[in-house]
């Protein structure tokens, strides 16, 4: 079963919210252009072009004209932590090639507040360098990619205000910035040969194109776990190898020689694929499901036949796949952690979101609910995540829990 076939927008009507399409500038309030509209019970963003309308977050009321969704916080934090790597990569690209135009692709772009964040930082970095070198500005061609179900219309409506803001920040002399939407899966060709200079993707590539085959013996688990038999780990790893090799081959055909690519995905430091750093979050979800089996609320066969289509590689596994393909050289491979607690002590949440465990459960719910609804139905979803939040809250109070992230920067050979 291909995952893209089962993911869809959550239903129901919720509260009116405000989404800020461009960064808010207090000194330039005319560039804050909110979009107010009734939205579904969950806002829908994308984890990647193979997963349809999938990054859903609980809708919350607007607050002083600025929308700061709880589940959006971690990806934005990850983007800020990887910003120096992306800026270094595009700076080297520009200084080494001095192109008259630069084509940038953001794969798994979503349609949320962070959609244009990376692109804006990359353009500003190039503009800073060209001014320092005394060169004319290149033109910028930006390709925003996600599945056809992505809300590209919302992105396009935000572009006039975004481009006006970029013109203000860059000043006179900056080249035009042209945008195109490119619907389709990144596990296949998306662009003509040798047309891209820079590819970026964040929090998409740990999702597999499908649930691996051969997981019949993974009973009682919904992902790789310490009790899983060796064949389960083998099936997950081989699916990751197939998917990632296709991804690299397609991007190698689309990038120019010397083109750069910066990818960020969930991973693990350990070589053990059953380590807690990558499996624990889903082991706790399996506990909630198995508790409901013991109470007769879910059929045991239903749990035994459900598996998450996700693989979090180790640095050595990621490096091996890149080198095996032979099309790219590795410039940097970094590993860093982000706490499960989304706010990570940075500010005190309000509106009832102060409970860390239930907050983390909401984040995971945003990611896996469409898969759970398709497999189990929607009648028990609230109960699953109530139990799940309680379990997570207990664990967070007793131990340090973190997500491990991998960022790799590569250059196309040639």
DSSP string, 187-199: SS--S-TT-EEEE
pLDDT of 78 above 60: yes
Burial (CB < 10 A; 0-12, 13-18, 19+), residue 257, is exposed
- CB atoms < 10 A from the CB of 410, how many? 25
* Window from 7-16, 89-98, 243-252 with minimum mean pLDDT: 7-16
- Answer whether residue 370 shows pLDDT above 90: no
Residue 52 has pLDDT above 50, yes or no: no
Q: Regarding predicted confidence, which is higher, 257 or 39?
A: 257
DSSP code for 160: H
Write the pLDDT tens digit of every residue in 155-179: 999 999 999 999 999 999 999 999 9
pLDDT tens digits, one per residue of 268-306: 999 999 888 889 999 999 999 999 999 999 999 999 999
Compute the distance between CA of residue 355 and CA of residue 349 in angstroms, rounded to an integer. Answer: 9
Question: Quick one: tokens of 264?
Answer: 């960020």
Q: Using CA atoms, how far apart are residues 123 and 361, in angstroms rounded to an integer?
A: 36
Measure CA of the first residue to CA of the last residue in the chain; give whole Å. 37
- Mean per-residue pLDDT for 352-362? 71
Please name the residues in contact with 188: beta carbons below 8 A apart, sequence gap of 6 or more.
246, 250
Per-residue pLDDT of 247-263, as tens digits, reads 999 999 999 999 999 99
What is the mean pLDDT of the segment spanning 378-401? 92
Taking the C-alpha atoms of residue 54 and residue 7, their distance in angstroms, rounded to an integer, is 6
Q: What share of the chain is helix, strand, coil (3-state, %, to 5)?
A: 40, 25, 35
Output the pLDDT for position 349: 43
For the cut 60, the answer to whether the pLDDT of residue 353 exceeds it is: no
Name the strand (E) or helix (H) holding 133: helix 117-133
pLDDT of 5 above 60: no
The pLDDT score that the predictor gives to residue 342 is 56
The answer to whether the beta carbons of residues 5 and 147 sit under 8 Å apart is: no
Residue 396 — φ and ψ, nearest 5°? -65, -35
Q: How confident is the model at residue 344, as a pLDDT?
A: 53
Q: Which residue has the higher pLDDT, 113 or 110?
A: 110
The mean pLDDT of the chain is 81
- The lowest-confidence range among 7-16, 203-212, 338-347 is 7-16
Mean pLDDT computed over 42-60: 37
The whole-angstrom distance between residue 209's C-alpha and the CA centroid of its chain comes to: 14
Q: How far apart are CA 109 and CA 141, in angstroms?
A: 15
| Top-confidence residue, 10 or 139 | 139
Interval 101-124 mean pLDDT: 91
Put residue 108 in one of left, alpha, beta given phi > 0 → left and psi -120 to 50 → alpha: left
Nearest CA to 113 among 169, 164, 55, 168? 55
Alpha-carbon distance of 190 to 322, in angstroms, equals 20
pLDDT of residue 75: 67
């Amino acid at each position: 079963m291909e995952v893209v076939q089962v993911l869809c927008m959550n239903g129901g009507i919720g509260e009116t919210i405000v989404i800020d399409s461009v960064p808010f500038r207090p000194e330039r309030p005319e560039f804050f252009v909110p979009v107010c509209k009734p939205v579904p019970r969950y806002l829908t963003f994308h984890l990647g072009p193979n997963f349809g309308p999938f990054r859903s977050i609980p809708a919350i009321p607007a607050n002083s004209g600025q929308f700061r969704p709880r589940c959006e916080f971690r990806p934005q934090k990850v983007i800020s932590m990887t910003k120096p790597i992306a800026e270094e990569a595009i700076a080297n690209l520009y200084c080494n090639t001095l192109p008259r135009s630069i084509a940038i692709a953001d794969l798994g772009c979503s349609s949320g507040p962070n959609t244009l964040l990376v692109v804006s930082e990359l353009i500003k970095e190039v503009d800073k360098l060209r001014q320092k070198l005394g060169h004319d500005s290149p033109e910028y061609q930006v390709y925003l990619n996600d599945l056809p179900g992505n809300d590209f219309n919302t992105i396009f409506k935000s572009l006039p205000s975004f481009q006006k803001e970029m013109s203000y920040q860059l000043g006179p002399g900056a080249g035009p910035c042209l945008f195109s939407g490119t619907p389709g899966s990144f596990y296949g060709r998306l662009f003509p040969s040798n047309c891209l200079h820079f590819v970026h993707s964040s929090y998409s590539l740990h999702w597999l194109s499908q649930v691996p085959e051969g997981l019949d013996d993974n009973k009682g688990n919904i992902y790789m776990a310490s009790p899983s038999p060796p064949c389960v780990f083998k099936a997950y790893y081989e699916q990751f190898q197939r998917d990632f090799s296709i991804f690299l081959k397609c991007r190698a055909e689309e990038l120019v020689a010397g083109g750069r690519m910066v990818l960020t995905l969930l991973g693990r430091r350990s070589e053990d694929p059953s380590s807690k750093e990558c499996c624990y979050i889903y082991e706790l979800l399996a506990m909630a499901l198995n508790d409901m089996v013991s109470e007769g609320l879910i059929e045991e066969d239903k749990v035994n036949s459900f598996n998450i289509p996700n693989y979090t590689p180790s640095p050595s596994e990621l490096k091996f796949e890149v080198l095996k393909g032979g099309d790219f050289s590795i410039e940097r491979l970094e590993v860093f952690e982000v706490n499960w607690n989304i706010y990570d002590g940075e500010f005190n949440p309000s509106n009832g979101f102060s409970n860390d465990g239930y907050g983390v459960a909401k984040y995971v719910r945003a990611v896996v609910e469409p898969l759970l609804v398709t497999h189990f139905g929607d009648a028990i979803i609230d109960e699953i995540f109530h139990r799940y939040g309680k379990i997570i809250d207990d664990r967070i109070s007793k131990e340090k829990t973190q997500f491990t992230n991998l960022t790799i920067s590569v250059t196309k050979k040639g």
